């Protein structure tokens, strides 16, 4: 576990195949970070939904635009940031997927799922375009920090 990476950054193309790739990489990183299989599944589904949104809503399926996925393992949590080249959006303006009139809707549940599966979700849209959705998942309470993760913790402000 001493060789566990602290950071994994991947650049995905805006293609359908990237959804599977992002999901699979997320599962590997979550496994490395000592999450159990259920949590690995939740984390990889959240990343999949987020990459789909980056592809579809952010990059508007434009193959020239990239999606960057950045996994950072800290002493107590995994942070996943998904960046696209789109115009962004506001979490406050999304309709509630649990509202009566939305219950039969066939879309509009991705963000809801990400929020259920992860501990925290934030969206930042830059002034020059580009959106970063950052999701955080706390490590299991019985997790023993690795030397690498401890080093990261010490460097935090
Ligand atoms: N990366 C993004 N860039 C721009 N808009 C986004 C992005 N991610 C989400 N959104 C906006 O937030 C809305 C809600 O996203 P959400 O994933 O919950 O639902 P959906 O993608 O519309 O449907 P579903 O995920 O259930 O197939 C989207 O319809 C879109 O308007
Ligand atoms: Mg979606």
The pLDDT, as a whole number, for residue 23 is 98
Cα of 76 from ligand 2 centre, angstroms: 28
pLDDT at 58 over 90: yes
Burial of 20 (0-12, 13-18, 19+ CB in 10 A): exposed
Given this model, what pLDDT does residue 151 score? 44
- As a whole number, mean pLDDT of residues 12-24 equals 95
Which CATH number is 62's domain given? 3.30.565.10
Which residues contact ligand 1 via a Cβ below 6 A?
49, 53-54, 57-58, 84, 86, 88-89, 94, 107-112, 131
Distance CA 43, CA 35 (A): 9
- From the CA of 112, the nearest ligand is 1
The neighbourhood of ligand 2, an ion, using CB within 5 A, equals: 53, 110
Cα 153 from chain centroid (whole Å): 21
The pLDDT tens digits of the residues spanning 28-56 come to: 999 999 899 999 999 999 999 999 999 99
Q: Does residue 122 belong to any structural domain of this protein?
A: yes
**Is 128 a residue whose pLDDT tops 90?**
no
Average pLDDT over residues 129-135: 94
Domain count across the chain: 1
99 in any annotated domain = yes
Q: How confident is the model at residue 144 (pLDDT cuts 50, 70, 90)?
A: low
Span from the CA of 53 to the centroid of ligand 2 (angstroms): 5
Task: Using the mean position of ligand 1's atoms as its centre, give its distance from the Cα of residue 112 in Å.
Answer: 10
pTM for the full predicted model: 0.88
Q: Note whether residue 149 is domain-resident.
A: yes
> How high is the pLDDT of residue 120?
98
The per-residue pLDDT of the chain, averaged, comes to: 87
Which residue range(s) make up the domain with 133? 7-155
**Residue 2 domain-assigned (yes or no):** no
pLDDT for res 154 = 47
Strands (E), the chain: 7-13, 66-73, 77-84, 120-125, 131-138
Look at residue 43 in the predicted model and tell me its pLDDT: 98
């Amino acid at each position: 576990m001493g060789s566990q990476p602290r950071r994994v950054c991947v650049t995905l193309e805006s293609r359908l195949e990237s959804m599977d790739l992002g999901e699979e990489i997320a599962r590997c990183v979550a496994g490395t970070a000592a999450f159990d299989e259920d949590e690995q599944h939740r984390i990889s589904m959240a990343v999949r939904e987020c990459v789909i949104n980056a592809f579809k809503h952010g990059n508007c399926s434009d193959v020239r635009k990239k999606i960057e996925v950045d996994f950072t393992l800290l002493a107590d949590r995994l942070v996943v940031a998904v960046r696209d080249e789109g115009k962004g959006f506001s979490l406050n303006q999304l309709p509630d997927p649990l509202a009566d009139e939305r219950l039969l809707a066939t879309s509009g549940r991705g963000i809801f799922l990400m929020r259920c599966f992860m501990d925290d979700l934030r969206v930042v849209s830059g002034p020059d375009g580009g959106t970063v959705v950052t999701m955080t998942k706390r490590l299991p309470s019985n997790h023993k920090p690795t030397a690498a993760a401890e080093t990261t913790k010490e460097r935090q402000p």
